[in-house]
Amino acid sequence: MLQVNRTKVASVVFSMVVVSGVLLAVTACDALSGGGKIAGSCDWRPTNKDRCFEYPDADAKKDCTAGRVWKAGPCDHTGAVCGARLSSGVQKWIFATAGTTKEKATAECAQDKVLGPDGKPAN
């Protein structure tokens, strides 16, 4: 009779789910779903953080301080592991760094609305 190692099967299934989430999330575009525009972004990477946030309202610029960099327009998504829309409408992009693995970033994005290739929520 064939014996199945449940731990190995669970590990393989989890890996497949993580890889699928990464492939889906990495290709998101620069427009907010619903046709809205991105007024600006606050990049936390200069402060050794692994993320960048995109805002529909330029008033968020006043909170982009402490070494973070504001720019009119979207974040540079190059190297992003995933992107997600927060309940506030802000889009968050997470990048792989020494402290953030792809698995950890993808799991964090999955807690919010993961963005698909068209920039609309995929979940």
> Greater confidence, 40 or 104?
40
The CA distance from 57 to 107, in Å, is 27
> Greater confidence, 66 or 23?
66
User: pLDDT at position 36, please?
Assistant: 59
Percent of the chain with pLDDT over 70: 63
User: pLDDT at position 41, please?
Assistant: 96
Residue range 65-100, pLDDT digits in tens? 989 999 999 999 888 888 888 888 899 998 887 677
> Greater confidence, 119 or 57?
57
Report, in angstroms and rounded to the nearest whole number, the Rg of the chain calculated over CA atoms: 16
Amino acid identity, position 85:
R
**Helices H / strands E in the chain, number of each:** 2, 6
